[in-house]
Amino acid sequence: MADQRAKGQRQQQLLSLDLRYPVWIFEADDPRWPRRLNSLLPSSHPAKIIRWVASFSEYALHLSPLQDSSSNNGNTKPATRAQHAKLAESALTQLRYDDTCDADSIQVIFDDRGQRTAKQLSSWVFDNHESDWIDPANVLRIEWTWDKVPLWDPKQCMAKISGLEASDPIFGVATLVANDDELVFAAGIQKTHSGEGIRKAEFECLDAGAGGGVVKVVICPPRWVEPSVQGLMLRNGPKNKHNQHLLAGTILQHAAWEDVEEYVKGMRPGPLWR
């Protein structure tokens, strides 16, 4: 009964994101527990996160914000309307002239007479003499259209846009799942999980088998692990039975211990892939 109820909740979560099977899901490589090869489906492909600006707390991944929040300088006093307008206009102008920016994939959220409204950056009017010009003071935030992750949001201390590309790629596996059973298996979540935390994202597939390029996916909650189980413990070395058990059935099972250390420390130059 609990399994069926949770299955319905996961389905509703996908529908709330306007998604239907088949969907791509992404699971980041976890430095504590290397992925077992038998957990991969035939539709799994190596992938990496792109242009990411989310925090660990928001997505439960090992990520850091890209925005420069130092502009507050410890001052928590709310910005005046004029200061807010200047910050918003600066962010919009930076995106406007950034050759790496796809204006069709970014939207501006603004206050339209009390209504929260969205407009694509590609349609944004910068000339204040035009009839459909919007005062930057009314801009609430700037975000990626697909996953709603903010690029600029003064409420989150994101007063500047420092860049659109992540300096340290986050590698993992993207899997095309055809139904709920495959989602549960590929994501490694329990059947009783409600699907809370499933979010949209964009990733880049790293092999030709998936067609390459950017893939729109969802991130599922972290893979379930018995709470009492510890991850790899480097200090115990390669002969430790606990470490050997965690490495069994993974691509690192017969790897040199230096490769294991590189993976755990996040220094691996690519995804943990078969």
What would the mean pLDDT of 130-143 be, rounded to a whole number?
94
pLDDT, residue 158, reads 63
* pLDDT reading at 218 higher than 70: yes
* pLDDT reading at 68 higher than 80: no
For residue range 5-55, what is the model confidence (pLDDT) as tens digits?
A: 999 999 999 999 889 999 999 888 988 899 999 999 999 999 987 654 444
DSSP letter assigned to residue 36: B
Strands (E), 39-155: 44-49, 106-112, 115-120, 139-144, 150-152
- Angle at which helices 2-16 and 180-187 cross, to 10°: 90
- The percentage of residues in the chain with a pLDDT greater than 70, rounded to a whole number, is 83
58 band by pLDDT with thresholds 50, 70 and 90: very low
2-64+167-227 in CATH: which number? 3.10.490
What would the mean pLDDT of 140-157 be, rounded to a whole number?
83
Q: Token pair for residue 159?
A: 């007063």
The domain locations on the chain are 2-64+167-227, 71-156
